[in-house]
Chain A
Amino acid sequence: MEFTFDNNIPIYIQLLEYMKIYLISGVFKCGEKLPSVREFANTFKVNPNTMQKALAELESMNLIYTERTNGKFVTKDEKIIEKLKDEYAITLAKSYFQGMKRIGLSKADSIKYLEGIDG
């Protein structure tokens, strides 16, 4: 997969977003060992220091943790991941309704549209 980065936004913030999606969607599961900073940097084709910064941020959000000699792991607490997923879903839903409102559709109408689409 090719990753694209918008030069207008700090790269570590974009990495953080990619990583959050990985965690929410279960690419890396609860308690699973993560690749090294170096491996991640190679995959995303970014500077290892920038990758490190993104992982440190994930760690401060308790989404991942470091075992001193073994490397980094996804949190064992499924609730944290669920909460993140919930937040993402709400943001996506809000932006959908906002878009529909802009073209003059009520919430009820917007939901009808949703039901008419195959997911």
Chain B
Amino acid sequence: MDNMELLEVKNLNKSFDNKEILKDINFSISGGKIVGLLGKNGAGKTTLIKLINDLLTPTSGEILVNGNKIGVESKRVISYLPEKTYLNKQMKVSEVINYFKDFYENFDSDKAQKLLKDLDLDINQHLSKMSKGMQEKVQLVLVMSRNADLYILDEPLGGVDPATRDYILDTILSNFNENASVLISTHLISDIERILDEVIFIDKGKIVLQSDADKLRNKEKSSIDEIFRRMFKNVN
């Protein structure tokens, strides 16, 4: 069991109505890494993430989490931040915390309360009374407060200002433990690249590159953001 990858994706294909969205995706993620899934809008990032979270079914291929096929066990160890919120906005933050506590046995509500306090968020406030940025912070806190093996964050920086972005990155950094991994999808590469161990470039449903972030910077003598721009400049 020792050298088993945390996440393994093998020959994965996904089509909708004969349109190929993901083509022969192969990659793996080991424990203790922060990995950026980087691609333009429509590259297939969210589809891939939904497949890993069992919200879609592959057309062919295989996804293994800790060596097991996707299912109840994989959902227990994956903490997922979707692109769009699914929380009931009429709820208070404290109610959402109880909801998560009921739902996930590995949810640490003390940790959630502490993080919310650090971020100056009021536990007695209704989600509907909060700004979009505040709601995103609450959602991230909930996801990061589960003691999971794999955190999957789909565009966690979408609608927030740069100061909040830094907050979010720090929250991700200080809450990820040595054995867990984080997969973050984004097209806002320059904001996030400093915290990444590895990068995966996805374009038109294909993985075009997977590399250690610092090795890639060293090899190309430029930032991940610039390498990405260069690679996809004339492709459309």
Contact of A46 among B32, B194, B218, B225 (CB under 8 A): B194
Contact of B173 among A7, A45, A53 (CB under 8 A): A45
- Majority secondary structure of chain B interface residues (helix, strand, loop or mixed): helix
The tally of residues in A whose CB lies under 8 Å from a CB in B reads 17
Verify A8–B173 contact, CB threshold 8 A.
no
A41 interface residue, CB < 8 Å from B?
yes
A11 interface residue, CB < 8 Å from B?
yes
* A11-B214, A53-B214 known; A47 vs B223 contact (CB < 8 Å): no
A12 interface residue, CB < 8 Å from B?
yes
A10 interface residue, CB < 8 Å from B?
yes
Distance of A96 Cα from B223 Cα, bound (Å): 28
B122 interface residue, CB < 8 Å from A?
no
B217 interface residue, CB < 8 Å from A?
yes
Distance of A41 Cα from B176 Cα, bound (Å): 12
Contact of B226 among A8, A41, A53 (CB under 8 A): A8
Interface residues of A (CB under 8 A from B): 5, 7-13, 41-42, 45-50, 53
Interface residues of B (CB under 8 A from A): 32-34, 169-170, 173-174, 178, 190, 193-197, 213-215, 217-218, 221-226
